[in-house]
Amino acid sequence: MADAAWVKPQVALAEAITAARLGQRQLARKLLAEIVARARSRGRIAGVHTGSPAMVKAMLAQGFHFASLLTDVRIFANALSRALAAVRDGKARMAGTY
């Protein structure tokens, strides 16, 4: 028997994500709440993967014990996007040892 429930969007939250994308956020939140309730009722830890700081706060407020924020690939992609935008906007500055 597992000691924790780790909710990965691509597996356990397929319905919740589909509902959220369709604008049915209430349904998505209801499904997440059900996962938390079932885990807690069995004395298990519930965790969820999120995509934003606001979602981390919302999931912790909803009762999840922990929430991860993005992945290393997404963090890198976000930083690269900001750097490229700075180049395009002419706001890039020299940094580092070059």
**Cα separations in angstroms, 97 against 41, 74, 81, 84, 94:** 55, 26, 22, 19, 9
Q: What is the structure's pLDDT at 69?
A: 83
Note whether 20 and 47 are within 8 A (CB): no
Domain ranges within the chain, ordered by starting residue: 4-70
**Beta strand 4-7 pairing with 66-69:** unpaired
pTM: 0.60
Rounded distance, CA 81 to CA 68, Å?
A: 21
Q: Consecutive sets of 10 residues in the chain, 98 residues long: mean pLDDT of each?
A: 64 59 72 88 88 88 89 81 85 67
**Six-digit token pair at 35?**
């996962």
Q: What is the structure's pLDDT at 22?
A: 65
Rounded distance, CA 17 to CA 23, Å?
A: 10
Q: What is the structure's pLDDT at 97?
A: 61
